Amino acid sequence: MKKNNDNFNGYFIRVISVFLWVLWLTPAQGKTQDNGIESLRQTSKAFASVARSVSPSVVFIQVESKGSTPRHFQFPFDDNELFGNDLFERFFGERFRDFSQPNVPRDVPRDMPQKQPKVIGQGSGFVFLIKDRLLSDVSYILTNNHVVQNADNIKVILQDKREFTAKVVGTDPQSDVAVLEINTSKLPALALGDSSSLEVGEWVIAIGNPFGLSHTLTVGVVSAKGRTSLGISDYEDFIQTDAAINPGNSGGPLVNLDGEVVGMNTAIFSRSGGYMGIGFAIPINLAMSIGKQLMNTGEVTRGHLGVVVQELSADLADSFDLQQNEGILIAQVMENSPAAKADLRQGDVIIRYQKKPVNNVGAFRNLVALSPPNSQQQLTVLRDGKSLNLTVTIGKLDKEPQLAQASEQPSTELGLTVQTITPSLAQQYNVKEGKGVLVTSITSGSVAAMAGIDVGTVILQVDRQPINSAEEFTRALNKTSQDKSVLLLLLKNNMQHYVVLSWS
């Protein structure tokens, strides 16, 4: 009997313990839930606070120009796409053909000269500086070049509906940056952040006028940094974000949670014309570097080094006996250039510039371009396995540099045929006689074809040894037959680059 009582008492104690534990845990869970909701409220209020502080400095830009619709004004369903084909004419007859030209009467032939219509486009911008002047204070606005290019009239509309006619201070198509000014000071200038300290994963807020919907705010995170080689502009170093950016957002600010501008919204990746989760912004450090030059001189002066560089692939690194796949490869050094005077050589691998690591061609190009002409900069290069420190005096880039530009030998391994460059071939293909060999045929699907080599390409070196005849090419290639891999220096479209070809 006593044993049964003991069992009952033990069971009762366990039940009471579980009950007390549930009573203790339930309020804690409710408290945790309340804390989570409160945290969300605080985040929401942070976004609202940023919107209130930033929006008065964000402007709506309306542009009037002549001619066809610029790329930044196109919407997902362009009239020319919808009506500019034969679909409606085939179904509804010839009288419907002029929908693509609404200002032209339907009974007037389409090819008859008409008065060129004006095109109204739109974009965004933001005030970044205010200057006091004797007669009228001036507010300076940063925006994209593609928003205002070819504009006849530019109107700036503020959040309070006031309108001003804007003057273009300067534009830089190569970086897609432009500066405008309007005669007013009754606007706050936005605080500028430091885009170099921005980290992937940080919250960012895009504000602008997508599709003409004034002062729209979207929120996202920094998806990536240092995006280059996108083909959006000549000098690229984009911040990638998933904050929704749409047509009309161009030129608007990308800000952090402190309300500081960290970028300028510029482009979207889209197959439809609308937002698809990837937007690009120019880092504010780069945009302001360009903007300040435009304000001071009305133009941008860029540094010039005088080299052609390319990304260093694993195959190229192996061909140059490099232990690590770091840096970028010099494929060509222009004669009498700052690089040539500093003893930079073809085949050098640049690993540092201004003591900063170099691993990307686009980023390196930006570093050189932003270096003041006549300034001395330090480079570290790898040459024949040794590290060298060189000093180069940066030149001025007046324009994009213009690079210099018999018997037949087939190669079954590579799938190409080369020929010694005769005077007639040199004239036909616009290449130099006596320097390299000319590719005269390519086998479809071959190793050479897969590497992008085509007829008219000049092969200058085989395994870093210059070749000037078809016979020299064959002899040099025979030396690599056992390795079944060869490093070639090619000249194509007046540009030199290395490629590694491998076969089995």
For residues 80, 85, 89 and 91, what is the CA-based torsion angle, rounded to 10 degrees? -110
Residue 176 designated active-site:
yes
Element (H, E) at 204: strand 203-208
Report the distance separating Cα 253 and Cα 317, nearest Å: 40
- Give me the catalytic one of 57, 65, 124, 176: 176
Token pair, residue 93, equals 């007859």
146, 215, 304, 497: which is the annotated catalytic residue? 146
Instruction: Give residues with Cβ within 8 angstroms of 133, minimum separation 6.
Output: none
Number of Cα atoms under 13 Å in the Cβ half of residue 244: 10
Rounded to an integer, what distance in angstroms lies between the CA atom of residue 312 and that of residue 316?
A: 6
Residues 6+ positions from 430 with CB-CB distance below 8 Å: 405
- Beta partners for 280? 240, 267
C-alpha span between 265 and 70 (Å, rounded): 17
Question: Measured between alpha carbons, how far is 203 from 18 in angstroms, rounded to an integer?
Answer: 43
Quote the tokens at residue 254. 């990308």
Strand partners, 85: none
Q: Helix H segments across 245-378?
A: 284-297, 314-319, 338-341, 361-369
Contact 209, 252 (CB under 8 A): yes
Tell me which of 175, 195, 250, 446 is the catalytic residue: 250
> Which SS3 state, helix, strand or coil, does residue 438 take?
strand
- Let me know: does 131 contact 118? Beta carbons within 8 Å: no
Identify the residue whose tokens are 């891999």.
485
**What residues are labeled active site?**
146, 176, 250
